[in-house]
Amino acid sequence: DAGVIQSPRHEVTEMGQEVTLRCKPISGHNSLFWYRQTMMRGLELLIYFNNNVPIDDSGMPEDRFSAKMPNASFSTLKIQPSEPRDSAVYFCASRLSGAGELFFGEGSRLTVL
Amino acid sequence: AQSVTQLGSHVSVSEGALVLLRCNYSSSVPPYLFWYVQYPNQGLQLLLKYTSAATLVKGINGFEAEFKKSETSFHLTKPSAHMSDAAEYFCAVTNNAGNMLTFGGGTRLMVKP
């Protein structure tokens, strides 16, 4: 079975540009999480969906960040406009509700110049 | 809210030596506790999971962890380090509802030949 699939793996963009990160969770999983990882702040939970509905977005840094999950097999994280401080690795993870364990994608490394 | 503290952001051991990575969580007993490993440029992979079935949990690659309620600890150990164990290790706990995961700051393990 394929794991969590994220794209792109690497993205380099200029300040002010829109960035869209994509995630395909493991088939059958009904919870999806977006995390951000930086050296300074470690792993931060940005937003959590359950059955395609956002449950907790308290970790989303500001209005420039938005996330959607239009169906059970696809989610996006959008940053508009991007800033250099958004440079980080963004991870998507999925889980069967109640099972506890998260399965992570390989991450999308974002560099904003 | 749960919190997780990993003592020592960097740990260095010699090949063949005991590995001990420390994790302490906040006082309310969480439903699940985890250790994840992250190799360079990869996502997080599950090493082991505690779900109250047994206090000593065995994971992959010879790692194990012991849940000690009296010490609010879940330290990770391996009797003999291998060069391939060099990676970053994250302890994580769920909230009381079991649906949100909080990660510690991570410990980078270095293994010297």
Determine which of A5, A44, A101, A109 to mutate to test the interface with B (most B C-beta atoms within 10 Å): A101
Summarize pLDDT for B60-79 with one digit per residue, the tens: 999 999 999 889 999 999 99
Assign 3-state DSSP to chain B and report helix, strand, coil percentages, each to 5: 10, 50, 40
Chain A residue numbers touching B106 (CB-CB < 8 A):
42-43
- Positive or negative, the CA dihedral A62, A17, A4, B61 is negative
* pLDDT at res. B13: 97
- Kindly indicate the confidence band of residue A61, based on its pLDDT and cuts at 50, 70 and 90: confident
- In a 13 Å sphere around the CA of A31, the CA atoms on its Cβ side amount to 19
Q: How far is A104 from chain B (nearest CA, A)?
A: 6
Q: Tokens 């869209």 correspond to what residue?
A: A20
Average pLDDT, integer, range B11-33: 90
Average pLDDT, integer, range B82-97: 91
- Kindly indicate the confidence band of residue B27, based on its pLDDT and cuts at 50, 70 and 90: low
Both structure tokens of B10: 């960097």
Average pLDDT, integer, range A9-27: 97
| Residue B52, pLDDT above cutoff 80 | no
Q: Tokens 């439903």 correspond to what residue?
A: B31
B45 in reach of chain A (CB within 8 A): yes
Determine which of B103, B107, B108 to mutate to test the interface with A (most A C-beta atoms within 10 Å): B103
| Residue B85, pLDDT above cutoff 90 | yes
Q: How far is B105 from chain A (nearest CA, A)?
A: 6
Q: How far is B62 from chain A (nearest CA, A)?
A: 19
Summarize pLDDT for B90-108 with one digit per residue, the tens: 999 887 777 788 899 999 9
- Kindly indicate the confidence band of residue A100, based on its pLDDT and cuts at 50, 70 and 90: confident
Beta-carbon separation of B43 and A56 below 8 A: no
